[in-house]
């Protein structure tokens, strides 16, 4: 034996993701359903990458083009080798397809595309503990539902796995479930996969039967207990999906709270996985923070706010029912309640945006105030400008968008219509109710409205049935 080099086979993740997911009652492939903002398969691929697998084989079948398309943009750092399982004959057949494309023996980390809560570190621990052998991840669930039951042998090892659909009542009562996560040598499992027969309730080639057969033939299968039973949550129907979604969100809230963020009611808070929030920020119940949003420290987000892909500084207050999408808010701003910031809205520090103000593709300088009922689109607004209630940038002429420029410390009177392209100069004022169609010079007043006239005694004459217009015929 001396001189023989022992090569450790590489570890390759295999994700089984070809199934129809019939119980989802969906026209979409099951693994593309989203939980906490990410497709189920996306969660699994992340875990595989975090576990240190070198590459991943993903078995797809039902609507495979859609599944491949969803992961064509570098969603995972792993190299993906796609394998087709044209007919979904069961998990055993799916794994056999993957084994068939490998050109040399490998250690396989087999994952189910519909088990999204598994953590990379858990998989890493399972691989380390299993070495070159066989292992199966198990968890004790209070409601084992439709998951396969793990029947232990007398000495506590694996005897076999029974699917819920095939189980006798005493087997159904078993709470130890198969999480659908396995470590196997590709060369070892191959023969058992090729011998599978579909003699079961679902008429499928069960991967789980290969484990039972291997055990019968004397193969030792380690039972790896998942540290967190949630990691075993498989998504077979919409109720499972809701449970997985909530569990992933709870996990995110837990991480944020551990890092010093106050979340008053985690169970009523939606914060997606990639969101970052600084310490001492406070998130009130019923808040939704999505996508790549980054929130600084000491910022408060009140109930009903929906925030997507936005950047928010420190010391900011986001009022109730405020909606932000691709917006940037610098430090110490107060926004809302009931404000709407659309893509390209950028608030300079210390700005105040009040209720029913909509901002789109507009940059506001420091300390700008727009307190009420306004639309500011395609605009550049200088520091300390004051935007009166009911101001509208009339940015669209029916064909094209035009820009409005408002200088530093300008005062826009209430109900000003700014017909773009137009510029209001630094320190300039527009009179309330004006329709501004021409530039207003720095320090000037723009006024465009009919002069007011008062008609003395008009109400009394109306009530006596006399002519309603003024006494004179001018």
Query: How many Cα atoms sit within 13 Å of 283 on the Cβ side?
Result: 30
* CB 41, min distance to ligand UD1, A: 8
* CB 283, min distance to ligand UD1, A: 32
In the complex, the residues that contact ligand UD1 under the rule CB under 6 A are: 16-19, 30-31, 59, 85, 88-91, 93-94, 112-115, 146-148, 161, 163, 177-180, 206-208, 234, 236
Question: Is the Cα torsion angle 19, 25, 31, 35 positive or negative in sign?
Answer: negative
Query: Which residue among 33, 284, 346, 372 is the active-site one?
Result: 372
Residue 114 binds Mg ion, judged by CB under 5 A: yes
Strands (DSSP E) found in 199-268: 221-225, 262-263
With respect to Mg ion, which residue has the nearer C-beta, 23 or 66? 23
Q: Which does 91 bind (CB under 5 to 8 A by kind): ligand UD1, Mg ion, none?
A: ligand UD1
* CB 370, min distance to Mg ion, A: 51
Residue 381: name the closest of 346, 355, 357, 354 by CA: 346
Q: Which range of residues in 112-120, 132-140, 390-398, 442-450 is near Mg ion by CB under 5 A?
A: 112-120
Residue 88 binds Mg ion, judged by CB under 5 A: no
Count of CB atoms within 10 A of residue 467's CB? Answer: 10
Residues in the chain: 474
Contact by Cβ (8 Å): 230, 22: no
Q: Which does 354 bind (CB under 5 to 8 A by kind): Mg ion, ligand UD1, none?
A: none
Residue 236 binds Mg ion, judged by CB under 5 A: yes
Query: Could you give phi then psi for residue 67, rounded to 5 degrees?
Result: -65, -45
With respect to ligand UD1, which residue has the nearer C-beta, 24 or 424? 24
DSSP secondary structure string for all residues of 81-113: EEEE-SS---HHHHHHHHHHT-SS--EEEEEET
Could you give the angle at which helices 207-216 and 186-194 cross, rounded to 10 degrees? 100
With respect to Mg ion, which residue has the nearer C-beta, 247 or 447? 247
Q: Which does 94 bind (CB under 5 to 8 A by kind): ligand UD1, Mg ion, none?
A: ligand UD1
Give the pairing of strands 317-318 and 270-271. Answer: unpaired
Residue 367 binds Mg ion, judged by CB under 5 A: no
Q: Return d(Cα 300, Cα 291) in angstroms, integer.
A: 18
Q: Which does 302 bind (CB under 5 to 8 A by kind): Mg ion, ligand UD1, none?
A: none
Q: Return d(Cα 120, Cα 114) in angstroms, integer.
A: 15
* CB 160, min distance to ligand UD1, A: 11
Q: Return d(Cα 353, Cα 333) in angstroms, integer.
A: 8
The answer to whether 302 is a known catalytic residue is no
Q: Return d(Cα 15, Cα 83) in angstroms, integer.
A: 10
With respect to ligand UD1, which residue has the nearer C-beta, 53 or 83? 83
Q: Which of 234, 296, 348, 413 binds Mg ion (CB under 5 A)?
A: 234
Q: Which does 85 bind (CB under 5 to 8 A by kind): ligand UD1, Mg ion, none?
A: ligand UD1
With respect to Mg ion, which residue has the nearer C-beta, 181 or 196? 181
Residue 415 binds Mg ion, judged by CB under 5 A: no
Count of CB atoms within 10 A of residue 173's CB? Answer: 10
Give the dihedral of Cα atoms 287, 288, 292, 296; nearest 10 deg: 0
With respect to Mg ion, which residue has the nearer C-beta, 19 or 382? 19
With respect to ligand UD1, which residue has the nearer C-beta, 51 or 94? 94
Q: Which does 90 bind (CB under 5 to 8 A by kind): Mg ion, ligand UD1, none?
A: ligand UD1
Q: Which does 178 bind (CB under 5 to 8 A by kind): Mg ion, ligand UD1, none?
A: ligand UD1
Cis peptide before 421 (omega within 30 of 0): yes
Count of CB atoms within 10 A of residue 130's CB? Answer: 20
Catalytically active residues are 372
Q: Which residues of this protein are in contact with Mg ion, per CB under 5 A? A: 114, 234, 236
């Amino acid at each position: 034996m001396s001189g023989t080099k022992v090569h450790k086979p590489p570890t390759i993740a295999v994700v089984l993701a070809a199934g129809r997911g019939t119980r989802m009652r969906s026209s979409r492939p099951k693994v593309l359903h989203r939980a906490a903002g990410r497709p189920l398969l996306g969660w699994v691929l992340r875990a595989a990458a975090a576990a240190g697998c070198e590459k991943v084989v993903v078995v797809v079948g039902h609507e495979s083009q859609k599944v491949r398309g969803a992961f064509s943009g570098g969603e995972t750092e792993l190299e993906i080798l796609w394998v087709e399982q044209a007919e979904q004959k069961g998990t055993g057949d799916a794994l056999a397809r993957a084994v068939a494309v490998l050109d040399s023996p490998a250690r396989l980390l087999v994952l189910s595309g519909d088990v999204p809560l598994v953590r990379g570190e858990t998989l890493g621990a399972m691989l380390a503990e299993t070495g070159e052998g066989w292992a199966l991840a198990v968890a004790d669930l209070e409601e084992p539902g439709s998951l396969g039951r793990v029947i232990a042998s007398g000495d506590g090892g694996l005897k076999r796995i029974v699917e819920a659909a095939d189980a006798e009542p005493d087997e159904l009562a078993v709470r130890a479930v198969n999480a659908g996560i396995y470590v196997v040598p590709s060369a070892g499992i191959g023969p058992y996969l090729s011998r599978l027969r579909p003699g079961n309730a679902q008429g499928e080639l069960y991967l789980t039967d290969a484990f039972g057969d291997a055990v019968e033939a004397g193969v030792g299968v380690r039972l790896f207990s998942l540290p967190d039973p949630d990691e075993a949550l498989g998504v077979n129907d919409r109720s499972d999906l809701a449970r997985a979604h909530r569990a992933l969100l709870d996990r995110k809230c837990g991480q944020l709270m551990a890092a010093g963020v106050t979340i008053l009611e985690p169970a009523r808070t939606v914060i997606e996985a990639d969101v970052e929030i600084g310490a001492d920020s406070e998130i009130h119940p019923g808040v939704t923070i999505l996508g790549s949003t980054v929130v600084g420290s000491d910022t408060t987000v009140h109930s009903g706010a929906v925030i997507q892909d936005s950047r928010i500084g420190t010391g900011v207050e986001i009022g109730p029912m405020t909606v932000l999408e691709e917006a940037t808010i610098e430090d110490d701003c107060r926004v809302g309640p009931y404000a709407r910031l659309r893509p390209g809205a950028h608030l300079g520090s210390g700005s105040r945006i009040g209720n029913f103000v909509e901002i789109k593709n507009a940059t506001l300088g420091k300390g700008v105030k727009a307190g009420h009922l306004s639309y500011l689109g395609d605009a550049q607004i200088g520091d300390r400008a004051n935007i009166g209630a009911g101001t509208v940038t009339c940015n669209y002429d029916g064909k094209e968008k035009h820009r409005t420029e408002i200088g530093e410390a300008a005062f826009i009177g209430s109900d000003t219509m700014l017909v773009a392209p137009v510029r209001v100069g630094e320190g300039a004022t527009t009179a309330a109710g004006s329709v501004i169609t021409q530039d207003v010079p720095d320090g000037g007043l723009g006024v465009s409205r009919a002069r007011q006239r008062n008609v003395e005694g008009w109400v009394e004459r109306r009530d006596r049935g006399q002519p309603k217009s003024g006494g004179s015929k001018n």
